[in-house]
Amino acid sequence: MTTPLRSFSGSKLAISSFSPSPFRMAVAVAALGFATLTACSHEKTEEPSVSVQIVPVENKTLHKVVRAEAILFPLQQSAIVPKIAAPVKTFYVRRGSKVRKGQLLAILENRDLVAATQESRGAYDQAEAAYTTTTAASLPEEIEKARLDVDANKVSLEAEQKVYDSRQELFQQGALPRKELDQASVNVTQARNQYEIAKRHLDALMAVGKQQELKSAAGQLESAKGKYLGSTAQLSYSEIRSPIDGVVTDRPLYAGEMTATGTPLITVMDLSTVVARAHIAQDQAALLKVGDKANITLAGLDDPVEGKVTVVSPALDPNSTTVEVWVEAKNHGQQLKPGSSSQLGIIAQTVSDTVVVPAAAILTAADGAASVMVVGSDSRAHQRAVKLGIRQDDNVQVVEGLKAGEKIVGTGAYGLPDNAKVTPEENNSPPESKDKPKAGSSDKDDK
């Protein structure tokens, strides 16, 4: 019985039948060895190719982003603590109520304060009337009387002076005795003294007397006014008003309950804008300045909220040796809740039209030197040293060593030897998935 023997790959030798004779057995073995050697020789001469991802080097705009955890705070907050201890008479707002600056929020029991204010108001009106009387009636009358006394004494002095002058002339002519001349001199002296006294009294009234009396009346008026203002202030403390525009976020008491000293009665927050406060390392904070753009990312929000840096603390926190940075953002729809944790991304630096490569393409040596595998026109990967700049997400700036348009190994460069032959990953996909007509043609040829 004979068995046909098919030709081996690459060999034209064929044996139509199989015979157990030694000669035929030797020929078959020789043919098989020749075919095997030929196949091995063919495999050794073909150099293997490594499948890698090849990406082009591009010019892009990169941002140096400083990231940190932050806590949200309202733009303004007022925890209103009453200045007096009294039961709550009426509340005009509740939690969630929107309020305006100066709006009346609550009233405390104040009947005793109203009575005290009325009493002080009466005393103030009385002091004001006394001051008006002193300045407009009593003092002017006394000053006018003193002025009239001065005028009368002056006229009397002038009359006595004329009598003395007439008698002195007669005495010199020998027509008047010495005694009458002396009497006229005494009368002139007395009249002059009376005039001087009246004048000094008028001057005193005009200077010291008037000033002191007015001062006394003014002091009484100011004292009464101060008491009235004090009682008015005490009464105003019973009216709780909002110091800011905002929303009532807390109101722990109910009407009729007693206020506690130092405990806020109502808390109002301005939620139109929030402030994200973060503590950032000193070297990172040194890159920031007021006005830098930032994003606030919060759990539950699909998109980050845009904001800007408003405060970069000039001093370090002594406990953490970090710098406190504030980012302010509009709170549209009140989606940002004060007290929430958030993630800040602050743009510290922007570099336009710079060479950018994927971070996965960077190879880092033990000494920290960076390099990439550049794919040449010969489809071989050549290692090239590069100098790196800023990094944003998965992109890295290359300051030196590459230029736009070159091709590098994006992924798969780790462990790849220099000058290794590479093939793009997309070229290794199955033919039927890439070019179905070609696959059909191949099937036809096989048939």
Which residue has 């539950």 as its token pair?
A: 300
> Residue 80, CB half-sphere, CA atoms under 13 Å: how many?
29
Structure-model confidence comparison of residues 118 and 49, the more confident one? 118
The domain made up of 270-351 has a fold known as Elongation Factor Tu (Ef-tu); domain 3 (2.40.30)
Residue 367 burial (10 A CB sphere; 0-12, 13-18, 19+):
exposed
d(CA 334, CA 273): 9
Entry field: residues in the chain: 447
- The greatest distance separating any two alpha carbons of the chain, rounded to the nearest whole angstrom, comes to 208
> pLDDT tens across 341-388, in order?
999 999 988 888 888 899 888 898 888 889 999 988 888 888 889 999
Question: What are the structural domain ranges in the chain?
Answer: 1-46, 50-60+352-434, 111-237, 270-351
User: What is the rounded end-to-end Cα distance, in angstroms, of the chain?
Assistant: 32
Q: Say yes or no to pLDDT of 24 above 50.
A: no
pLDDT of 258:
93
> pLDDT tens across 145-203, in order?
778 888 888 888 888 888 888 888 888 887 778 888 888 888 888 988 998 888 888 77
Residues 53 and 409: beta-carbon distance below 8 Å:
yes
> pLDDT tens across 55-72, in order?
898 888 888 889 999 999
Cβ neighbours of residue 288 closer than 8 Å, sequence gap 6 or more: 66, 280, 309, 312, 325, 346, 348
* φ, ψ of residue 318 in degrees (nearest 5): -65, -25
Structure-model confidence comparison of residues 209 and 207, the more confident one? 207
By DSSP bridging, strand 50-56 and strand 420-424 are parallel
Residues 345 and 65: beta-carbon distance below 8 Å:
yes
pLDDT of 195:
87
Q: What is the CATH class of 50-60+352-434?
A: mainly beta
What would the two tokens of residue 272 be? 């139109």
CATH of span 111-237: 1.10.287
What would the two tokens of residue 140 be? 């002017």
pLDDT of 293:
93
Which residue has 């009598």 as its token pair?
A: 163
By DSSP bridging, strand 50-56 and strand 98-99 are unpaired
